[in-house]
Every structure is written in C-alpha cells, then in structure tokens.
Structure 1
Amino acid sequence: MKIIISGAYAIGCHLARLLSREHEDIVVMDTDEERFSHIGSDVDILTMEASSTSIEALKNAGAEKADLFIAVTPDESKNMNSCVLAKALGTKKTVAKIDNAEYIAPDLQEFFSQLGVSKLIYPEMLAATDINNGLKMSWVRQRWDVHGGALVMLGVKLRETCTILDRPMREICGPEDPFHIVAIKRGDDTIIPGGNDCLQMYDLAYFMTTKQYIPYVRKIVGKEHYVDVKNVMIMGGGATAVRTVKTMPTYMDVKIIETDEQRCERLNSILEDEKALIINGDGRDLSLLIEEGIKNTQAFVALTGNAETNILACLTAKRMGVRKTVAMVENIDYVSMAESLDIGTIINKKSIAASHIYQMMLDANVHNVRFLMTANADVAEFIPSEGSKVTQKPVKDLGLPVGMTIGGLVRDGVGLLVSGNTMIQPGDSVMVFCHNVNMKKIEKFFL
C-alpha cells in the first residue's frame, strides 16, 4: 500500500512509526527537514522536504497512485487543500486533521467527501469522548462501547477487593458466564489469556461484556464502593477541555482551572451555556485546590500541554482523596511511566487520532480501530463479508493467530459473547483483540 503523510509533527511521526511496522510504502512530506529527525532513523520510510499544497511535489511523492493521503500538519486549511489536490490527482482515500468542531457534523460528511476529503479527524473531540467515557464510570480505566453499548469493553485495575483473583480463567469466565477477559496487562507484559491463566492483584484486566452485566462485573472486581462522578475539576483550559465540557453529561458539575487570565475570559464566552465555573489560577497550588473543594471532587482531569505537570497534578489529587484521575500525556515515552505511577486514565491524542486513521488502510469492513497504549494492543470491530473464512467454521476451528482473540459480536443489534462453538455470520460486528499481530493478517479472515 502506498501512503503519503503530510506533516512530520507529533501525529505524523507516530503514524509513520506505526505504519512502518506493517512494511507499507510510506512517504512523509514536510517543509522543515529538521522535523524528520523526530521520526527516528530506524523507521523505513522515504522523506521529502516539500509542501503538500504543491501539485508538482504531490506528483513526485506518488499521489497519482497513492492508496492513502494523510494530512496532519497544524494548519487545518493546508490539510484540507492538500487532500483536495491529492484526491484530484488520483489518490484513493484522503484524511485531514482539523480543529473546527463545525466540520465534523454528520450531515457534512458527504459534502467534504465530494470535495475530496474522505475523512476528517478532530483529535480534541476524540480525546473528549474517551475522557467522558471514563468519567461516566469512576471505577474503570478505559471504556469502549460498540453499537451504542450492545457490547462494552472495560479496562479495570484489580485491587485486593477483587473476588476472582488467583483462579484459572476456565473457572471464572466459561461459555455461560456473562463476561470474557480478552487481555491482561501485567507489569510490562500483555497476556492474551488461556484457560490456565489467573488474574493477579494490580493487573489491568480487559473485560468484554454486555451493558446489562456491567453492574455484575463491577461487583466481582470489588469496585462497588467507588462513588459515581458528580463533581469534576479540570486543570488546563485548552481545546480538549472545551470539547470535554461541551460533551459532558448534564448531571456533572465542572470547574476549569486556567493560569492565563485572557484564556479564562475566552472560556467564559465559549462555555456560557454550560455548567462550568472558570477559575484563574494554578492547578498545582494546593491551597487553591483545597479552597475550590478538591476533597469533595470525584474526578480530576489534567489537560495542560505539559505531561509532567499533568502527571504530578494527578498524583497530588490522588493523595488528596480523588478516586478518578485523568492525565493527558502527549509524550508517548512518558505513558509507561504514568501507568506505573498508577495515576488513572491516560489520554494521548496522537495515539487516538492514529488509531482512527489506521483503519482506513484496511480492505475489510472495519470500524473503531483502537490502539490501547497501556496494553500495547489493538481492538477493532470487523464485519465479515459473505463467504469469508471467519464464517466457515466454529471459532475454535478457525486457526486464529497467536495473540488474537474474539471477545464478542453484535448481531441484529444484540450483543453476544463468543465461545469456541460460536458460528460467526456475515454482517455480524465482531470484536477482535490482538497483541503483536499484524492487522493485515487478521483482516484476511473477514474478506
């Protein structure tokens, strides 16, 4: 597959490294040669110092025969214009990163598609969705809903209150049980569990279940004492904070702490219709946090542009009794450190955006590809076509690659957990969880 990436910034560099693992033919374009050094010398790609709004440069990059053109520079207009040019030259699919919430309205998708922009990516909105999913359930590190919650994946940190520790999987989640454990993150290792594997204290376990059994999962993992989130404190008033507040459930009350006075005035204007109190101050100031009621706050969300600040602020909030903390960590090198410090949910916008772009390079009917940084694994929703390999035999006889498991499926709007005897049907939405498996290898089962 021929892929062109415009912009060697955070998302572009991350995508180049991610896609190079698939051994794709990749060209990265940027007007500043120094930015290419952020990709790394060990990545097998071609770099081109040129503007993606130049027709000649696009031709030299191979846009006339490219399968996918990805524009992820900080300039929204440049991204969209270069997508229009690439599509006109013959590129099959195009993706543009944007920062205007108006453009992502569902009724505008066809409009932009006709212009030549196949897909729009708004990282702040994607991050806000993940943040709010986490806030809705204070006891969960990560939540992923499929088909409006017909199937739900929950990432849960296990403590001493968990009732299913140290027991083989075959005893705790058999074919008749209302959940499957599809993966376990233990220290630096990710485990796709078999029947003899056991859960241990401090594991991050990924449960696949249906919406009606979420309370049951909450009970067995010993999280019933966690209070639901009502009061939220956000440190940092950037675009991600704005999108989070605008899409937050109405029953939540939120305070935003922002150091810049002019930005506070702007936030008051942007969020005048929301239940948000804007506070001019430093979220690292303990006296300010106490004054603003941190001890009566159920969730603390750190969204400044500095990863270290966000991590330290969440650690402080934890020490002051806040159960649910969320930290935006844009430096991927810090993600494992943040996880080891047990600060709570970690948000990385470039990883979230890359996951959504990644699914466009697959030929199968696939939706909602997500890269789970903490588990170093991928989860995706595949829809098998008529006659595909995955529909020919029971799951246990499919010969699935090591490191891949099927957690569940949605059929006619109803979520179903999958056992070895399950027969998958064409049109099912099938949840696939994989670790160290090429996604191209997996999609062959669904074509």
Structure 2
Amino acid sequence: MKIIIAGAGAVGTHLAKLLSGEKQDIILMDEDDEKLSRMGNNLDLMTVNLSPTSINGLKEAGVANADLFIAVTPYESQNMTACMLATNLGAKKTVARIDNYEYLLPKHKEFFSRLGVHSLIYPEMLAAREIVDAVKLSWIRQWWEFAGGALVMLGTKMRETAEILNVPLHELGGQNIPFHIVAIKRGSETIIPRGDDTIRLNDVVYFTTTKKYIPYIRKISGKENEPDIHNVMIMGGSRIAVRTVQYMPEDIHAKIIENDLNRCNRLTELVDDKVMIINGDGRDIELLREEGIRNTEAFVALTGSSETNILACLAAKRMGVTKVIAQVENVDYISMAESLDIGTVINKKFIAASHIYQMMLDADVSNVKCLTFADADVAEFTVKAGSRITKAPVKDIGLPKGATIGGLTRNGEGMLVTGNTMIQEGDHVVVFCLGMMIKKLEKYF
C-alpha cells in the first residue's frame, strides 16, 4: 500500500513512525526540510521536501499511484486543497485534518467527497470526546463503547481495596463471570493474561463487559466509595476545552481557567452561559482554592505545555481532586505521567493516528482505539461471510500471540466470548492486541 503523508508536524511524524513498521510504502512530504531531517535514518520511509499544494510537487511524490493521501499540516485550507489536487491526480483515497466542526456535519459529506476530500479528521474534537468519556465515571482511567454501547471496555487501577487482588483469573468465577479481563498493564509491561495470571496492587486492568455489570466491576475493583463527578475544573481555554464543555453531560458543571484575558472574552462567546470562565493562572494554588478546588471531583489540564499540565494535575491531586486528566503531547512524558499516577492522559497524536490507521484497513473495522499507556490497540471488526474466524470455536482459531477477543455484539446485544464461542457472520467483534497488530488480524475477519 502506497501512503503519502503531507505534513511533518506532530501528527504526521507520529503517524509515519507507526506506519513505517507496517511494511507499507510511506512517503512523508513537507516544505520544511528541517522537520524532515529530524525523522532520522532508522525509519523505513522516504521523505520529500515538496509542497503538498504544488501540482508538480505531488506528481514528483508519485501521488498518481497513492492508495491513501493524508494531509495533516497545521493549516486546514492547505490540507483541503492538497486532498482535492491529490484526488484529481489519481490518489484513491484522501484524508484531511481540519479544525472546523461544521465540515463534519453529515449533510456536507457528499459535497466534500465530490471535491476529492473523502474523509475528515478533527483531532481536537476526538480528544474532547475522550475527556468527556473519562469524566463520566470517576473511578475509571479509560472508557470505550462499541456497537452503540452494547459492549464497553474500561480500564481501572487496582488499589488495596480491590477484591480481585492476588487471585488466579481462573478462580474468579469460571465461565459465568460477567466480564472478560483483556489486558493488564503492570509497570511498563502490558500483559494479555491467561488463567494462571493474577492481578496485583497498582495494576491497570482492562475489562470488557455490558453496561448493566459496570456497578459489579466497580465493586470488585474496590471503587464504590470514590465520589461521582459533578464539578470539573479545566485549566486552559483551548479548542479542546471548548469542545469538552460542549459535550459535557447536563449534570456536570464546568469552569475554565484561562490566563489570557482576550481568550477569556472569546470563550464567553463560544461556550454556554452555565460554563464559568475565570481569568487567571491555573497553577495559582490560592486561585484554585478560591474557585472551589476542594469541592471539585475532576481537574483537566489542557494548556500547550505538557510539563505544566502534569504538574498542575499533581497539585490538584494533593488538594483532594479524585480524577485528574492531562493533555500530554510530548510522547516522552507519557510514561512519566503514568509513573506519577496521572489518571488519564490525552494525546492528540495517538488519537488522530488511531482514526487514520482505521482507514488503511481492508476489513470492515468500525472502531480503532489506541491505549495511550499500554502500547496496544482495540479494534471492532464486522465479520464477513465465510471469514476464517467463523470456521471453528475461538480457542481453535489460532489468533496470533498478543491478541485476544474481548467480546462481541450480535443483533445489537453485547456478549462475552469464551474459548467455545462460535463467531457468526455479521457479529461485531472487539479485539485487543499489542503493538500495531491490527493489520495482521484482518485475514481472520
């Protein structure tokens, strides 16, 4: 598969690194030669110092033979123009990064497709949705819904109060337990567990289950006494912050603290009247106390500095905030954030890469999630007629090492999977896998 990525910024370079290990034919193009030189020589890709909006430049990059053209420069208009040109020069499929929510409305999809822009991605909006999912339940670290919520996956950290510590998984209740443990994150290692594995203190455990059993998982995880979230304080009035408060449930009250007065004035125009806008420094402990940090259950740090966000979350935890969420765009700081017990980390690069990666897949994949901490992915496959996964029980299919089936939905109903489960055509199957292994799993579906 020949893939051209236009834009060697944060999203483009991260995506190029991910895809270069997939044995794809990757070309990274950018007008800034310095950005391209930072990529190093150890990646299996080609870099070209050309403009993505130059017809000659696109021709020289070989766009006529491109299976996928991805425009992720910082400029929306440049991305849209590049995709239109690429399509007209022969690219089979195009993806543009945008920052205008209006373009994503369903009524505009056909219009942009006719112009040659086949898919649109808005990383800030995707990040905001992940933040809202994370604050819905105070005791979880990550949360995903599959098939409209018929099946859910959640990650939560095991404290001393958890009932399932130090018990081999095969002793947790046999075939009738209403959940499946798909992975355990222990230190820097991600484990796909077997029956003789045990859950230890401070493990982050990833469960799949149906919504009615979420209270049960909360109980066995020892999280029943953690307060529900009603008040959220957001540091930084970024576009992600605006989208976050727009998606926030009605019963959660939000405050945004922004240092720039002009931005504060703009925020009052962009968000609902019920959202309080505060002009000040979110690192100011006295200001946080005055604004009710002691009565706040969730603190979200969304400034442009990863270091500031991590430190602000640590300060909020010391002041008693149950749930802290930090935007960490510097990938090198993600493991540090985890070691400091920052509950949820938001990284636009990972989120955008997951969605673009989904577009590369030949199988019918409706959902791909990147687990920020775990170097792993979750994918939702729709099973095709006659596919390999339907030929035998799950235990005899021979899934590659590092992959496990977390559950499935059939006719809209969520089901957990055992070794004896027979998967059928039309099922929506949730697969958990280490690394970027999703491409290897396509042949099963």
TM range (shorter): over 0.9
How many aligned residue pairs are there? 445
Matches for 1:318-397 after TM superposition, within 5 Å: 318-397=317-396
Query: 1:48: which partner in 2?
Result: 48
Paired amino acid for 2:377:
D
**Displacement of 1:173:** 5.4
Matches for 1:251-266 after TM superposition, within 5 Å: 251-266=251-266
Task: Give distance in 1, aligned partners of 2:225 and 2:38.
Answer: 45
Task: Give distance in 1, aligned partners of 2:178 and 2:110.
Answer: 40
Task: Give distance in 2, aligned partners of 1:274 and 1:378.
Answer: 38
Query: 1:426: which partner in 2?
Result: 425
**Displacement of 1:275:** 1.7
Q: Runs of at least 4 residues of structure 1 off by over 4 A?
A: none
**Displacement of 1:441:** 1.3
Whether the 8 Å CA contact 2:65–2:91 is kept in 1: the answer is yes
**Displacement of 1:437:** 5.8
The alignment partner of 1:217 has SS state of helix
**Displacement of 1:112:** 1.5
Q: Deviations over 1:390-447 (max 9, x none)?
A: 011110000110110000001111000010011111111100000146322111111x
2:134 paired with 1:134: yes
Paired amino acid for 2:362:
D
Query: 1:276: which partner in 2?
Result: 275
Whether the 8 Å CA contact 1:246–1:274 is kept in 2: the answer is no
Matches for 1:106-125 after TM superposition, within 5 Å: 106-125=106-125
Whether the 8 Å CA contact 1:245–1:274 is kept in 2: the answer is no
Task: Give distance in 1, aligned partners of 2:345 and 2:439.
Answer: 27
Q: Deviations over 1:85-124 (max 9, x none)?
A: 1111221111100000111112222222222111100001
Whether the 8 Å CA contact 2:184–2:206 is kept in 1: the answer is yes
**Displacement of 1:40:** 3.2
Task: Give distance in 1, aligned partners of 2:175 and 2:5.
Answer: 44
**Displacement of 1:38:** 3.5
2:33 paired with 1:33: yes
Paired amino acid for 1:77:
S
Task: Give distance in 2, aligned partners of 1:436 and 1:165.
Answer: 27
Task: Give distance in 2, aligned partners of 1:137 and 1:121.
Answer: 26
Task: Give distance in 2, aligned partners of 1:40 and 1:254.
Answer: 43
* Segment drifting more, 320-329 vs 114-123: 114-123
The alignment partner of 1:36 has SS state of helix
**Displacement of 1:147:** 1.8
**Displacement of 1:41:** 2.8
**Displacement of 1:266:** 0.4
Query: 1:147: which partner in 2?
Result: 147
Q: Deviations over 1:307-360 (max 9, x none)?
A: 000000000000000000000000011000000100110000111000000011
Query: 2:225: which partner in 1?
Result: 225
Task: Give distance in 2, aligned partners of 1:423 and 1:225.
Answer: 39
TM-score between both structures, scaled by the size of structure 1: 0.98
Paired amino acid for 1:328:
Q
**Displacement of 1:371:** 1.3
Superposed CA RMSD in Å reads: 1.0
> Kindly tell me: are residues 441 and 355 of structure 1, through their superposed partners in 2, closer, same or farther at Cα, counting changes over 3 Å?
same
Query: 1:201: which partner in 2?
Result: 201
* Segment drifting more, 46-55 vs 313-322: 46-55
Whether the 8 Å CA contact 2:63–2:86 is kept in 1: the answer is yes
* Segment drifting more, 274-283 vs 236-245: 274-283
Task: Give distance in 2, aligned partners of 1:173 and 1:192.
Answer: 19
Query: 1:435: which partner in 2?
Result: 434
Whether the 8 Å CA contact 2:379–2:438 is kept in 1: the answer is no
Query: 1:158: which partner in 2?
Result: 158
Task: Give distance in 1, aligned partners of 2:229 and 2:239.
Answer: 22
**Displacement of 1:205:** 0.5
Whether the 8 Å CA contact 2:67–2:93 is kept in 1: the answer is yes
TM-score between both structures, scaled by the size of structure 2: 0.99
Query: 1:309: which partner in 2?
Result: 308
Paired amino acid for 1:213:
Y
Whether the 8 Å CA contact 2:36–2:49 is kept in 1: the answer is no
* Segment drifting more, 340-349 vs 82-91: 82-91
Matches for 1:207-246 after TM superposition, within 5 Å: 207-246=207-246
Task: Give distance in 2, aligned partners of 1:202 and 1:361.
Answer: 36
Whether the 8 Å CA contact 2:18–2:436 is kept in 1: the answer is no
The alignment partner of 1:53 has SS state of coil
**Displacement of 1:148:** 2.1
The alignment partner of 2:85 has SS state of helix
* Segment drifting more, 114-123 vs 184-193: 114-123
Give the share of equivalent positions with the same residue, in percent: 63
Q: Deviations over 1:370-405 (max 9, x none)?
A: 111211101100112110000111100001101100
Task: Give distance in 2, aligned partners of 1:74 and 1:65.
Answer: 25
Task: Give distance in 1, aligned partners of 2:406 and 2:324.
Answer: 28
Which residues of structure 2 form unaligned runs of 5+? none
**Displacement of 1:39:** 2.6
2:272 paired with 1:267: no
**Displacement of 1:251:** 1.0
Q: Deviations over 1:253-282 (max 9, x none)?
A: 1110000000000001111x3421000000
The alignment partner of 1:356 has SS state of helix
Whether the 8 Å CA contact 1:302–1:314 is kept in 2: the answer is yes
